[in-house]
Structure 1
Amino acid sequence: MNISQYTGIILLTFAAACGNSTPPPPAAPPPVKVVLQEVRQGTAVFYEEFPATVNPLNQVDLRAQVSGFITGIHIADGARAKKGQLLYSIDAQLYEANYGQAVANLQVQEANLVRAQKDVDRYHELEKNDAIAKQLVDNAEAALEVAKKQSEAAKANISAVQTSVRYTKVTAPFDGLIGISLVKSGTAVVAGQTVLNTISSDNELAADINLDQREIYRFSQFLQQKKQDSIFSLAFGTDIYPHHGKLLLMDRAVDPQTGTIKARIVFPNPDKTLRAGMNAVVRVKTDAPANTIIIPYKSITEQLGEFFVYVKTDSSKVTQKKVVLGTVIGSNIIVREGLAPGDSVVTQGVQALREGAVIESVPPAAPAAADKPKQ
């Protein structure tokens, strides 16, 4: 037998041996180590948050009611004014002169009225003796009526001129905070157009929020409560305003374009720290009922806008359950639908799971040394 024949026999023998062997089955993946938490019902207190704008309960633009020049500014910018306090003076010389002329005109008309009355009285005496023509009596009575109307017109003119004189003094319509003046001494102002300043009340301020129309019934219940202690609070970032508010009213109607309605919560402002125009967050304290299901938020996975959790089955496997979520409470979240008491939810190791994966329950991981609180 030559070398080539011997080599061929060896190859045939090797091929036959290979053809008769079967590869071993692939090893099953090891169980995924996860942390489980049993679903339980309980109560919870949390705060719903609504963006808000702080507004005064009363605010007025102070406008000039007569034309002229500013002759005096009697309050400092940003000061607090009392109702009736003098704020601005407008040159009153022309209006005072008009008032004097109106008074003189009234005196003339009253004198004419007295004379016309005497003429009528005298003509009536002569008429009794048939010593005067009827036409003269009629003319005297007509002149008396004209004199009466002219006297009334003169009195009305005095009232109008008096109003103009009074409007040369701009006073505070209520107690409040004055803004920065928009005019200076000597500025020409136009009646009904020129804004001098703005005054707003600041003993109480309102936080206005927009509510979804589905919240109308719940907030209507707040309006019926005599006491609303600690239900409404105000937050500026991480700072919580120290005084609680009260729901004052809800708007007349729902905005058909947005489906929302405006609600107004009033907060006391004893320290004068609230200012009109501030942006804040109204926090509404809510007590969840005793049968509320709350789980860690990290248990939730999202797929195409829907939310799921992994729940342990009887065979040490997991299955996905769709859930309807409620309000986030710190690191937890309320589950409205999808879970029942007694379900075991995966809270750690969610990223390594898939539908039907075999799991092994392990205790929660201890925090890293850097994460442990310092003693």
Structure 2
Amino acid sequence: MAPLRRTRLAVALLCSVFGAAALTGCGQEGEGSGQAQQQAQGPVEVGVYQVKTAPVTLTTELPGRTSAYLVSEVRPQVGGIIEKRLFDEGSEVKAGQVLYQIDPATYEAELESAKANLARAQANVESARLKAQRYKELVKINAVSKQDYDDADATLKQTAADVAAYQAAVKTAQINLNYTKVTSPIAGRIGKSTVTPGALVTANQTNSLVTVQQLDPMYVDVTQSSVDLLRLKRELASGKLNRASADDEAKVRLKLEDGSDYGVEGTLTFSDVSVDESTGAVTLRAVFPNPQQLLLPGMYVRAAIEEGVRPDGILVPQQGITRDTTGQAVAYVIADGKVAVRKVKTNRAIGNQWLIDSGLKDGDQLIIEGIQKVKPGAAVKGVEASPQQNTESEANAAQ
């Protein structure tokens, strides 16, 4: 029985060995057929974007506040009681329009008194002139002394000076009387009055009676980092960036507090000459037409300022730029029918595209669809990306 049992065990072991070998052979045959099938299918198709250079206008968006183009705080130049207020609060007023009437009685009396003094001085001049003429003839025949003639001549000159002084007094009195009509120095929208009829005001008082603001055009003051300002100047000096307009006036677009676009374009007119030590920023000022007076002083806005034009700019769809494990921006391109990896440097996002500083060149085929299906070195076939993708790319490049 023992020999028979050993024989059966040996046969079972041999069957197991041959069975495993058979299974291994089948697996290798299946794997070989899969590779052959993949080779038969050909290179993987991926969507590509044809990289091309074109002029790109660069803008920077900065926060800012609006302010009135002209502001006038109206104060009285003479004292007195306010008799009338001659405007509606919040209305438009013209330059020179009368806003308040101060009681003129005192100033009218001063003007009449100055005129009377002038008339008396003028009469004295006439009398002194005639006396001086007579003495001039008499002194020739020694009928009067030369001293008497000199006194008469001095009196004439003194009365003439009195006339000049009283003429100035009349003019001053007339000016003070005119100042009883408080007028607007500028045209614009008038605010809330701080006084009512019956109030006592004084000349050149600290508190203004009312404020008038010219709202068309409007100023927009924004702040820009001094670091960005230096970078912009270097790029313009090196030729990497060209000025957007020949007249050196950068165009500015505006977004309002609610996120809507202000439909009128403005121009950059002023850059401060010093940097704020607390913020490290420089103040820029733009001027915007405001015919509908949609902009009001103190509004928060965001201004998109044209930095310049990059003549050979490269814009590519954002989905064509990925990051490797180190965080480096990379792009997959087709080179000699295979996938190649390029390290790229991005400048900024413009819409749904990246502005490329380096790593890509005109004519490159950038893979933007099917990146997840390929690896570096794999054979691929590039086909034009979907029409929607190309349309968006071209639209952003035009902007």
On whether the aligned pair clears a TM of 0.5, the verdict is: yes
What's 2:361 paired with?
A: 340
1:44-63 CA deviation, whole Å, 9 max, x = no partner?
76672233332332221111
Q: 1:89 aligns with which of 77, 101, 106?
A: 101
2:351 matches 1:330: yes
Once the 2 structures are TM-superposed, how far is the Cα of residue 334 of structure 1 from its aligned partner? 0.8
What's 1:40 paired with?
A: 51
The alignment partner of 1:75 has SS state of: coil
Q: 1:196 aligns with which of 192, 197, 209?
A: 209
Once the 2 structures are TM-superposed, how far is the Cα of residue 187 of structure 1 from its aligned partner? 2.2
**In 2 relative to 1, CA 126–288 (structure 1 residues): closer, same or farther, beyond 3 Å?**
closer
What's 1:276 paired with?
A: 297
Matches within 5 A, 1:144-155: 144-155=156-167
Q: Decide whether the 8 Å contact of 1:50 with 1:210 is kept in 2.
A: yes
Q: Decide whether the 8 Å contact of 2:334 with 2:367 is kept in 1.
A: no
What's 1:262 paired with?
A: 284
Once the 2 structures are TM-superposed, how far is the Cα of residue 88 of structure 1 from its aligned partner? 1.0
Q: Report the Cα distance in structure 2 between the residues aligned to 1:221 and 1:246, rounded to whole angstroms.
A: 12
Q: 1:128 aligns with which of 132, 135, 140?
A: 140
Once the 2 structures are TM-superposed, how far is the Cα of residue 132 of structure 1 from its aligned partner? 0.2
Matches within 5 A, 1:84-233: 84-192=96-204, 193-210=206-223, 212=229, 215=232, 222=245, 224=247, 231-233=251-253
Q: Report the Cα distance in structure 1 between the residues aligned to 2:288 and 2:379, rounded to whole angstroms.
A: 54
Matches within 5 A, 1:348-363: none
Matches within 5 A, 1:13-28: none
**In 2 relative to 1, CA 360–188 (structure 1 residues): closer, same or farther, beyond 3 Å?**
farther
The alignment partner of 1:222 has SS state of: coil
**In 2 relative to 1, CA 98–194 (structure 1 residues): closer, same or farther, beyond 3 Å?**
farther
Q: 2:343 aligns with which of 298, 306, 321?
A: 321
Q: Report the Cα distance in structure 2 between the residues aligned to 1:215 and 1:265, rounded to whole angstroms.
A: 21
Matches within 5 A, 1:59-74: 59-74=71-86
The alignment partner of 1:243 has SS state of: strand
**In 2 relative to 1, CA 74–313 (structure 1 residues): closer, same or farther, beyond 3 Å?**
same
Q: Report the Cα distance in structure 1 between the residues aligned to 2:127 and 2:115, rounded to whole angstroms.
A: 19
Q: Decide whether the 8 Å contact of 1:323 with 1:335 is kept in 2.
A: yes
Q: Report the Cα distance in structure 2 between the residues aligned to 1:292 and 1:259, rounded to whole angstroms.
A: 28
What's 1:240 paired with?
A: 261
**In 2 relative to 1, CA 115–307 (structure 1 residues): closer, same or farther, beyond 3 Å?**
farther
Q: Decide whether the 8 Å contact of 1:43 with 1:288 is kept in 2.
A: no
What's 2:87 paired with?
A: 75
Letter in 1 for 2:95: K
Letter in 2 for 1:293: I
1:324-353 CA deviation, whole Å, 9 max, x = no partner?
413x21222212223335264678989xxx
Q: Report the Cα distance in structure 1 between the residues aligned to 2:121 and 2:311, rounded to whole angstroms.
A: 84
Q: Decide whether the 8 Å contact of 2:242 with 2:309 is kept in 1.
A: no
Q: Decide whether the 8 Å contact of 1:302 with 1:308 is kept in 2.
A: yes
1:227-285 CA deviation, whole Å, 9 max, x = no partner?
x9xx54322143122223344x3347354854635342332x33232222322223346
**In 2 relative to 1, CA 177–47 (structure 1 residues): closer, same or farther, beyond 3 Å?**
farther
Once the 2 structures are TM-superposed, how far is the Cα of residue 287 of structure 1 from its aligned partner? 8.1
Once the 2 structures are TM-superposed, how far is the Cα of residue 201 of structure 1 from its aligned partner? 1.9
Once the 2 structures are TM-superposed, how far is the Cα of residue 119 of structure 1 from its aligned partner? 1.6
Q: Decide whether the 8 Å contact of 2:330 with 2:344 is kept in 1.
A: yes
Q: Report the Cα distance in structure 1 between the residues aligned to 2:325 and 2:64, rounded to whole angstroms.
A: 32
Q: Structure 1 or 2: larger helix share?
A: 2
Once the 2 structures are TM-superposed, how far is the Cα of residue 194 of structure 1 from its aligned partner? 3.0
* Structural RMSD (CA): 4.1
**In 2 relative to 1, CA 42–357 (structure 1 residues): closer, same or farther, beyond 3 Å?**
closer
Q: Decide whether the 8 Å contact of 2:266 with 2:286 is kept in 1.
A: no
The alignment partner of 2:62 has SS state of: strand
Letter in 2 for 1:222: S
Q: Report the Cα distance in structure 2 between the residues aligned to 1:329 and 1:51, rounded to whole angstroms.
A: 18
TM-score normalised by the chain length of structure 2: 0.67
The alignment partner of 1:202 has SS state of: strand
Once the 2 structures are TM-superposed, how far is the Cα of residue 38 of structure 1 from its aligned partner? 5.0
Letter in 2 for 1:321: K
The alignment partner of 1:245 has SS state of: strand
Q: Report the Cα distance in structure 1 between the residues aligned to 2:308 and 2:154, rounded to whole angstroms.
A: 82
Letter in 2 for 1:283: A
Q: Decide whether the 8 Å contact of 2:56 with 2:312 is kept in 1.
A: no
Q: Decide whether the 8 Å contact of 1:294 with 1:332 is kept in 2.
A: yes
